[in-house]
Amino acid sequence: MSHNANKVNAKEPNRAGVVSQALEDLSDVPTLSATNGQVLGWSAGPTVDAIDMPSPYDIAGSMWQSGGGWGGGHIYSVGDGAYWRAASLTLNLDATKISLQSGTWITQWTLQAGTYLMKWDIPFQASASSSSAVLRLKDITNNQYLGAKIQIGDGRSSNHFMTLVSPSSATTYHWEFLSITGAIYLPNAQTYQSFQAAFLEV
């Protein structure tokens, strides 16, 4: 007496009629050697293969203006770092990746080794519509400037800053004023609400 044995690929059912399949049992899937950071996807053929995924990112920190609480003003000078009132901010920082200098008024931050995409919105108050300033990110630890110069005021910029850094060890940074035309002030508590920063580890 003959009968047909049901199979799925090369696998036959057991006595209970269950066919156990492993990924390697699929006939159109070669032996895979997937590594960390890869997923299964369609490759040329088409066949299933191990496919590289884009690099993930982690939020190392964020901060934004969430309160006022100061009066008076400050006029920036060449060489100053753009600063903010730490006591008026909401901070969400991974202390293993980013830290701030101590004090009420902050101009610097320190990143541990890694690669970070930094995004900033820093408001300024100009004395006239023609007033402007040029800023640039400075690596204070290694005494060098990074990235392009950014001009604010005089209709040149919306005060949005974004840059990528890859420190190999703990490194301190600030946004430094390279030149100023007219007068640029720290904005008052009411107009400072647009300050925010985010640090993405990529």
pTM for the structure as a whole = 0.72
- pLDDT band for position 202 (50/70/90)? confident
Q: In the CATH scheme, what is the code of domain 58-201?
A: 2.60.120.40
**Mean pLDDT in residue range 24-41:** 64
pLDDT over 70, % of the chain: 78
**Mean pLDDT in residue range 109-130:** 92
State the chain's maximal CA–CA distance in angstroms: 102
Distance (Å, whole) CA 50 – CA 82: 47
pLDDT for res 3 = 57
Cis peptide before 46 (omega within 30 of 0): yes
The domain limits of the chain are 1-52, 58-201
